[in-house]
Structures are given as C-alpha cells and as structure tokens.
Amino acid sequence: MSKFHYPDLQVCVLAAGRGKRMRSNLPKVLHKVLGRAMIDHILHTVESLRPKGIAVVTGHASEMVRAHVGQPVNLEWVIQDKQLGTGHAVKQCEQVICDVRDVLIVCGDTPLLQVETLDKLVREHRQAAADVTVLTANPANPFGYGRIVRDGDGRLSSIVEEKDASESERAITEVSSGIYCVRYEVLFDLLHAIGNRNAQGEYYLPDIVPLALDAGQRVEAVMMADADEMLGVNDRVHLAHVEDVMQKKIIEEWQRRGVTVEKPDTVRIEAGVSIGIDTVIQAGCYLIGSTTIGDECRIGPNAVLVDAWLDDRVNVYAFSHIQGAAVGSDSLVGPYARLRPEARLDEHVHIGNFVEIKKSVVGDGSKVNHLSYIGDSTIGTNCNIGAGTITCNYDGANKFVTEIGDNVFVGSDTQLVAPVRVGSDATIGAGSTITSDVPDGGLTLSERNAQKYVPGWKRPQKDKP
Ligand code: UD1
Ligand code: MG
C-alpha cells in the first residue's frame, strides 16, 4: 500500500491527443515503455497518490484505450470528441468532479513521472495556499515546451507555447511540465474564460495562469528536481530515449537492492520484473514481462526470460530461452535450453543443452541433459532422461500425455509414443521406441536388429593422381 493518501484530490489524465507523430495504428498512450503501456505507467503513478478519483480524457481510439485499461473502481472515462486543446480537455471533466479540494492535471505521455514529485507539487501548492501551481523544469533542451515567463519580481506571469513565443521568450530555459495543481473552486471558472486566439487555434490550459493572476488569485511555480521526469513522448525517437532513461533508473534501483548487473548497457530489465538479492545478471540478458527471479541466481550471458518464475539459486546458462515457465530452487538450465509455457521444474533439476520442455513437470532431482523434446509430460523424481529422448506427443491432430514415474532411467535415443506410462524404477534400453506402457522396475527395450561384424572390410579410398 502506498504511503501517500489524498482523499480530497481529483486527478485528470489528458490522453485524447492523436499522437500523430508516432505514425501508428495504435493510440500513443498504448505504446509501451519497458513492457508497460504509457497509460499504465502514468495510472500506476497517480494511483500511488491514493486520490479520491482519476478521470482519464480520451478521444482518439478511446475504445482501444478503455479496453486495454479495463475499469478500475475509482477511474472515470471522459470523452473529448474533438481535440481542441489541453484546456478544452480538462473542461470535459467538469461533470465527473465534485467535492474535492484540488485537481491535479497530468499528461498521458510522460511515463517517467514519479509519485514523489507529484506529492511535492500538491504539498507545496497547499502550503502556499495557492489557487494554481505549475510544475516547471529546467531541461537540457527547452525546445517545444511552453516557456515560463516571469515578471520583474521573478513571479510567474504567463506560459508561452513554442509556436507563440517571441525570440526573447524562446531563450527562456525554464519550461512548463504541463502538470498543474489547481484549487477545484476556481478551476472551471478559469477554464470557461480561456479563448483560442493563438498560433494553434487551441484552448490552452496554460492560459489559466494569466487569467488567475488577473482575478487576483495566487499562482505559484514549483521546480522539478530532475527534468528527465517530464520528458514527453511525441515520436518514436522520444520513445527510445525515454526507455533508455527509464532503463538506467530501473537497473540502478536493482543494483541498490543487491543485484549485480554486469555490462548494464547491454541488459534489458522491464518495469514488471523482480529480482532477489545476490543474483547476478550477466551481459545481454533480456528480462521481460512479469519475470520473477529469486536470490543467488546466475543468469546469462544472453539469456531471455519472458514471464518466467525462478526460485533461489537457479543457474540459467548462456543462450537459454524461458517463457511462461517455472524453475525450482538449485536447478540448472542450459546453455541453449528452451523452456516453453507451462513447463515446471521442481528442485535440483538439470536441463541441458538443446533440450525443449513444454507443458510438462520435471520432478525433484531429475535430469534431461542433452538434445531432447519433452512435451505434455510428467517426469517423477530422480529420473535420468538420456540424450535424444523424444516424447512423441502429437499425431498430427491431437496431443497425448506421457507419464514417467520416479527413479526411471531412459536410455539415449528413445521415443516415447504418447499416450504412454512408464512405471517407477524402470530402465529403458537405448534406441527404443516405446508404444505401450512400461511396468515398474526391470528393463524394457524395443527389439533390435542383430549386430553384424564384417572382418577385413576396407573403407573406400580416394583415387591418387
Ligand atoms: C503541452 C503544454 C506545454 C508543456 C508541454 C509539456 C499546452 C498548450 N501546452 O504541450 O505548455 O510544456 O505540454 O509536455 O498545454 N491532449 C488532449 N486533448 C487535446 C490536446 C491534448 O487530451 O485537445 C493531451 C495529449 O494527449 C497529451 C497532453 O494533452 O497527453 C499534452 O498535449 P500535447 O499536444 O502533447 O501538448 P504539448 O505540445 O506537448
Ligand atoms: Mg506532449
């Protein structure tokens, strides 16, 4: 549970813009940054404030955005049919907001924003008893942002958009983050008063600043400590840049929590991943989706884990691919192994090179070390599945199950034609094709051709010139 709590705060998320510059069939806020859609990043951040409610303004492809987010209890959807500007967008929320002290307005395309920064904005807004407070920043490159214009006493007087700015205004480096905290009592009167006489013919939210000042209201600016947090995504170059910034932060956070990350610039660790202490992530690893890794594991180099679950002390060697699978403690996987969805390895399991496991359980202490396919199977404890063993689970139309008991030894190059059961303590001779159930214990092997010896036989020789 988040430590923040603002039961008298309403949040508005502006996400109706088309995101034309993304050149995409997908609405901008559904583009992912480190595996999570931008709208989910911002919703996660504002939900951490535990506000009274969250209104999300959508317009372009609103059905897709709604279908993606679902219907959290404290979230209201607001439609802006025509995208007439940020001020017009906030105005559409009038019907869904009541009985709050302040309204916090954020944009849907700033996934780096941190909850602590929003908390600071609301706290300072309230301490100053302000009517309107703007969150500002000093980015390395102010191009494209609204500039913060101050009067002779250094007090905020207006915000001028890039397209409306004079040369001297463009030289200002302090910019608006587009994030505001506004007293509910004054917000909608201000919004009704703004016009659209500007370079873009839009109703600009920033215009509430001079209107509030004219009405004798108190307007404040709060500067962000880290300007990176307000980086907005308008095209795919920004998307990659924002992802880089977020990746650095996420990796540093894991390093501080006790994870060793070798060659961090080559590693991808998505936002939904979690990693235990003393785990080592080697170069080139991709940790994707909801992947969860325990303590003291060693991963890589160049392993890919997608929605994988690993218990403690698991080693995943180079070039292994694990997706939707679970690995018990003290197990070894790879190099060059593939665990597919619903593979479950219990403890102390060894899966070696060029082994593929799909929708199967491998019991404690069992080994499948070389060149095998195990699908739709259960393998008991302490089994040794020899090199080149294949479970033939598919007849071209249907899938069938292979069940193997405990302490079974399967000789190399065996085919287990499912459906088939192998009893505990059984041994299967190398090269067998097993088509019916194997009893407990003893040796089972399919008939072999007699071995021949041809004495004095010579291999063909190349003709000598
Ligand atoms: C806006 C601000 C600018 C600030 C910058 C910070 C205005 C006029 N300008 O510029 O001062 O420096 O953000 O990133 O506010 N949206 C709607 N409906 C609309 C228009 C926009 O919902 O009719 C949403 C967009 O989806 C987006 C957000 O509002 O999430 C900001 O709009 P955008 O067009 O990106 O504004 P900027 O030009 O970035
Ligand atoms: Mg923008």
pLDDT tens, residue by residue, 92-144: 999 999 999 999 999 999 999 999 999 999 999 999 999 999 999 999 999 99
Nearest ligand 1 atom to alpha carbon 83: 23
Kindly calculate the radius of gyration of the chain based on its CA atoms and give it in whole angstroms.
31
Nearest ligand, CA 88: 1
Cα→Cα distances 296→279, 300, 314, Å: 4, 13, 7
Share of the chain above pLDDT 90, in %: 97
117 phi, psi to nearest 5 deg: -70, -40
3-state helix, strand, coil in the chain (%, to 5): 20, 30, 50
Catalytic residue set: 370
Q: Which residues contact 83 (CB under 8 A, 6 or more apart)?
A: 16, 17, 18, 59, 60, 89
Closest alpha carbon to 232 in 2, 22, 406, 447: 22
Please determine, for residue 327, whether its predicted confidence score (pLDDT) is greater than 90: yes
Residue closest by Cα to atom 16 of ligand 1? 17
Confidence category of residue 17, pLDDT binned at 50, 70, 90: confident
Residue closest by Cα to atom 13 of ligand 1? 178
CB 159 within 8 A of CB 168: no
Q: Cα separation of 13 and 28, whole Å?
A: 14
Question: How, if at all, do strands 361-362 and 377-379 pair?
Answer: parallel
Please determine, for residue 19, whether its predicted confidence score (pLDDT) is greater than 90: no
Please determine, for residue 60, whether its predicted confidence score (pLDDT) is greater than 90: no
User: Region 389-395: what's the mean pLDDT?
Assistant: 96
Q: Which residues contact 73 (CB under 8 A, 6 or more apart)?
A: none
Q: Quick one: which H or E segment has residue 427?
A: strand 427-428
| The token pair that represents 88 in the structure block | 């017009």
CA of 234 to the centre of ligand 2 (A): 6
Closest alpha carbon to 314 in 301, 296, 326: 296
Confidence category of residue 323, pLDDT binned at 50, 70, 90: very high
Confidence category of residue 180, pLDDT binned at 50, 70, 90: very high
Q: Is the CB of 299 under 6 A from ligand 1?
A: no
Q: Which residues contact 421 (CB under 8 A, 6 or more apart)?
A: 402, 403, 404, 405, 437, 438
Q: Cα separation of 67 and 81, whole Å?
A: 18
Q: Is the CB of 161 under 6 A from ligand 1?
A: yes
**Which residues neighbour ligand 2 (ion) by CB within 5 Å?**
232
State the pLDDT at residue 274. Answer: 98
CB 365 within 8 A of CB 331: no
As beta bridge partners, residue 16 has: none
Q: Is 327 helix (H, G, I), strand (E, B) or coil?
A: strand
Residue closest by Cα to atom 3 of ligand 1? 146
As beta bridge partners, residue 286 has: 268, 304
Count Cβ atoms within 10 A of the Cβ of residue 422 and give its class: 0-12 exposed, 13-18 middle, 19 or more buried. Answer: buried
Q: Cα separation of 461 and 465, whole Å?
A: 12
Global pTM reads 0.92
Count Cβ atoms within 10 A of the Cβ of residue 59 and give its class: 0-12 exposed, 13-18 middle, 19 or more buried. Answer: buried
Nearest ligand 1 atom to alpha carbon 159: 11
Q: Is 128 helix (H, G, I), strand (E, B) or coil?
A: coil
Please determine, for residue 465, whether its predicted confidence score (pLDDT) is greater than 90: no
C-alpha atoms less than 13 angstroms from C-alpha of 434 in its C-beta half-sphere: 33
Q: Is the CB of 142 under 6 A from ligand 1?
A: no
State the pLDDT at residue 18. Answer: 81
Question: Which domains occur in the chain, in start order?
Answer: 6-230 (3.90.550.10), 236-444 (2.160.10.10)
Cα→Cα distances 16→79, 198, 322, 452, Å: 8, 20, 38, 79
Confidence category of residue 157, pLDDT binned at 50, 70, 90: very high
| The token pair that represents 330 in the structure block | 């003290």
User: Region 345-360: what's the mean pLDDT?
Assistant: 98
State the pLDDT at residue 321. Answer: 98
333 phi, psi to nearest 5 deg: -130, 125
Q: Cα separation of 402 and 414, whole Å?
A: 13
Share of the chain above pLDDT 70, in %: 100
Q: Is the CB of 6 under 6 A from ligand 1?
A: no
Question: How, if at all, do strands 409-410 and 384-385 pair?
Answer: parallel
| The token pair that represents 4 in the structure block | 């923040």
State the pLDDT at residue 8. Answer: 98
User: Region 439-459: what's the mean pLDDT?
Assistant: 95
As beta bridge partners, residue 370 has: 353
CB 325 within 8 A of CB 305: no
Please determine, for residue 240, whether its predicted confidence score (pLDDT) is greater than 90: yes
